[in-house]
Amino acid sequence: MRLVSAVLGFVLRKTGTLLAVVLSLFLGFLLVQAAVPAVKEAVTDRERLQQVAAEREALEGDLERLTDELAEAQREEVASLEGTVAAQIDELGDQVSGQRSEVEASLEERDECSRLRELVEDLPLVPNTCDLKERAAETAQEALDTLESSLARAESRAALLRDPSLTPQEKLDRLGEGGGQSVTEREIAITESQVDQKQAEERSLEQAQGSGVGWVVDQWARSWRWLAALALLVLVMPPTIKTLGYFLLMPVVHRAHRPIHLASGSDTPAGGLRTSRAERTLTVDLGPGEVLSARSEHVRPVQGRIRSHLLYDWSSPFISYAAGLFGLSRVTGDERVTAATLSTPDDPDSYLMRIDFSDHPGLVMRPRHVVGVIGTPELETRWRWGIQSFATWQVRYILFSGTGSLIVQGSGDVVATSPQGGTTRMEQHLVMGFDSRLVVGVNRTEVFWPYLWGRTPLVDDEFTGSHPLFWQKASAGGPSNPVARVFDAFFSAFGKVLGF
């Protein structure tokens, strides 16, 4: 039941986060529109531009449809006229042929009238048939001319209608059939006028959208969908990657990696090591000839001689500088009482512990936890490569070996724990250092839900053996500034790779 509640709570939190982000963006956009009238006007112009563009496209579609209808009607009319003119040509051709026959007959009858017959017919009471025949021949000729003229016009119209270089509209205009506008043509004229009006308004709105505010609104309208998808991806990807890393990646890493044993092959495997109790303020008593090199800001009252020292180890200047062991205060013991009190100047939750070792093969300690060094233990590095380095993001280990003492600092508390021949697992960010005689590996954290919620890391260090490891109770808090946190995370990760 608790598992179901945890899963349900996780899903509800993620859903609530997504809704909160979307609602915040929406409210912010509304506030911008209310606060900046130009933005609101630009939004209105954009909406009007979209509406005008849609209206223009609809009018252009109507115009195209009307134009097609008119062209089809004109083609049908031209085809009808072609049939009519062809019928007229056939009819007129027959009429011309018949009329020519009549004209020829009339001319033959007229030619039959001689001069004598004309004289006889000029006499009174004698009908003049020759004049009648003459007029009949003239009338027949005039009718033939009229028919031939009509036939010529019909043939000319037929040739015009068959001309492929002319459009139906041009054929009708030349024939005089398109003198008056049809209903479709009037609709086309009105639609073209409306299209021109919408185009002019659209150009005006596009110019308004070209302003700075209009550009911002246009960019928002273009990008909000993929921005929302990206925000959703950002919310979903971290738990997805964490789940894959927990159930797929880390089991493979745990089976494939080879634990490291830094003290393997050492000449002094039985070195001694002793620790003190962790305290907020630590007093170090020095015998004659003993030397304490400590960070100057940690050194409080001093009994004895003290002087400055630039670097802890000149043979390892970069390690000394990166570890903060520079600008040191060096206290040297003599026959009189010599003591130095150490405390953390800027962290009231910090604890100090003294670690004494002799003939030791190497104590691995992150230099940032080292406050002071007593004696002159050797400072050396060991490099390790492999899948474990990939899992822990650490390829170099810094060791203090030989004989001497370390004053180390941790947050909340400093604890020395021994696996006592078994295995102990510890979160990486809490580990300050360990005895190099321990066998160190990696394993997956045993708690999935705290890891998914970001409370615990994925990888735990796994120590096996009978020697101590050193850990702090809590990680030191980083800077509160977001930019500073980014840089701090980057340089901390880089330092972790190099063993700092």
Burial class (CB in 10 A: 0-12, 13-18, 19+), 229: exposed
Of 330, 430, 313, 443, nearest to 381 by C-alpha is 313
For range 51-65, the mean pLDDT:
76
Phi-psi region of 232 (alpha: psi -120 to 50; beta: other; left: phi over 0): alpha
Spatial strand order in the sheet of 299-303 = 281-286, 338-343, 299-303
pLDDT reported for residue 439 = 93
CB under 8 Å to 167, separation ≥6 — which residues? Answer: 74
pLDDT reported for residue 435 = 94
Burial class (CB in 10 A: 0-12, 13-18, 19+), 265: exposed
Return d(Cα 375, Cα 403) in angstroms, integer: 7
Interval 183-209: pLDDT, tens? 455 556 666 666 666 666 666 656 655
Tokens in use for 126? 């004698």
Interval 335-352: pLDDT, tens? 787 889 999 888 888 999
**CA 248-249-255 angle, 5° bins:** 100
% of the chain with per-residue pLDDT over 70: 65
Return d(Cα 377, Cα 398) in angstroms, integer: 12
Alpha carbon 442 to its chain's center:
36
pTM for this entry: 0.56
1 has pLDDT over 60: no
- Residue at token pair 């030619």: 111
pLDDT reported for residue 121 = 53
Interval 157-177: pLDDT, tens? 777 777 777 777 776 667 665
